[in-house]
Structure formats: C-alpha cells, structure tokens
Chains A and B, each alone.
Chain A
Amino acid sequence: NAGVTQTPKFQVLKTGQSMTLQCAQDMNHEYMSWYRQDPGMGLRLIHYSVGAGITDQGEVPNGYNVSRSTTEDFPLRLLSAAPSQTSVYFCASSPPDGIYGYTFGSGTRLTVV
C-alpha cells in the first residue's frame, strides 16, 4: 500500500492563479480531510468528506473547493490564489467508522507570490 499520496510536493503560484492539489489513498478509507498548517496555528481543517459524493466545510473553507467522486481521490482546488493561502497542506484519511486517527500524506508546500 502506498498510503496517502499527495502531489505536487512543492508549488509556487502567482496571485489569482488557480490550481488543484491532488490526494489519493489506497486503503479504502471512507473519511478524508484537508488541513493547512501555518506556524503557531496548528493544523486547521479546510474540508472533509465521509464518503464518495459527500463533502462538508471545516474551520477555514473560504477560497477552497473540494469534490469526492471516488473513494480513493479527494482533490483540493484553489479558485484564485492569494498570499494568505501560502501554507503547507496535508491530506489525511481514516477508516469508515471514524474512531481511528487519520493517516497523513507527506504534504504540499504552497507559496503564493
């Protein structure tokens, strides 16, 4: 098993550009989430999903969209990048009953200039 795979690992965007961060897991996990990590602010939940076709907002959803067309994939879209979205983004997944901790991907370091 590859676990949770995120691409790309690094990305530089110009203000106003859009892009999609990819996340895929091969563990048949129903629950998937996107977090952003900023210094001194911990891991903040952006969006999450409990299964294919179901998504919901987390703590900081503004400026981001998600979709969950398959169990394996949970892409995060930045609609119009802003410098405030400079961060490290982590995708994570967990088994369906939700009583287990999440397994994290290796992260995407995004810089918006």
Chain B
Amino acid sequence: GENVEQHPSTLSVQEGDSAVIKCTYSDSASNYFPWYKQELGKRPQLIIDIRSNVGEKKDQRIAVTLNKTAKHFSLHITETQPEDSAVYFCAAKIASSNTGKLIFGQGTTLQVKP
C-alpha cells in the first residue's frame, strides 16, 4: 500500500546550523507534499508544501525540494532557532484515486540547542 518513510527520527543541531529532514514515498502518482510542524501538546500546523510540477520552494528560512524521479522530498531549515524545536511530519497525497487521502511519515523530533 501507500507508504511514506521519514528520516531521521531525531535530529539535534546547534542554534544557527541547518537541519535537513528527508522523506520518500511509494506511490508515483502522488502530486502534493506538505510539511507539518507540531509543538508539544498542540495540533500539527502546515508550514510549507510543494506540488509535483515544482522542484523547489522557499519561504524565509525553510525550503522544500522534490525529486520525483527518485520519489523523495526534503525539508531544509536554515539558521535554526530554539523555537524551531518541534516534531516535523512530511506527508504525501495519494492522487491516484483523487480522494485527498494524505499519508504521513513517522515524524522527526528536531532539537535546537541554544
């Protein structure tokens, strides 16, 4: 069935360093790839997304890249700050049945050390 793999499961960086989280997906028909940030005890919040007709998208300190051939996409956070500490989830929309079904990766716990 559809599957999204996310790595690493935990990531610790020093404030100011960059962080990269990678995901792979199994269904080549997927056409939409959002990233969510979840702070402790709160709901997941959409932070950036990318569609299959775009290779890269940036929004201030965060960027997402997509390689459709390899079926993987990545989240890049530059100049990390302590408030970036959270759990990050990637997801892929399985477009083959046009149902809007969104499958998530297992999550990455990012710790930014001051």
**Taking beta carbons and an 8 Å cutoff, which residues of A are in contact with B?**
30-31, 33, 35, 40-45, 48, 50, 56, 58-59, 90, 92, 94, 98-107
Contact = CB atoms under 8 A, between A and B. Distances in A.
B108 to A, nearest CB: 10
Contact of A101 (B36, B43, B99, B101): B36
Contacts, number: 71
A42 B44 contact: no
A99 B44 contact: no
A49 B30 CA distance: 18
5 contacts: A42-B104, A42-B105, A43-B91, A59-B103, A92-B102
Contacts of B91: 43, 101
B111 interface: no
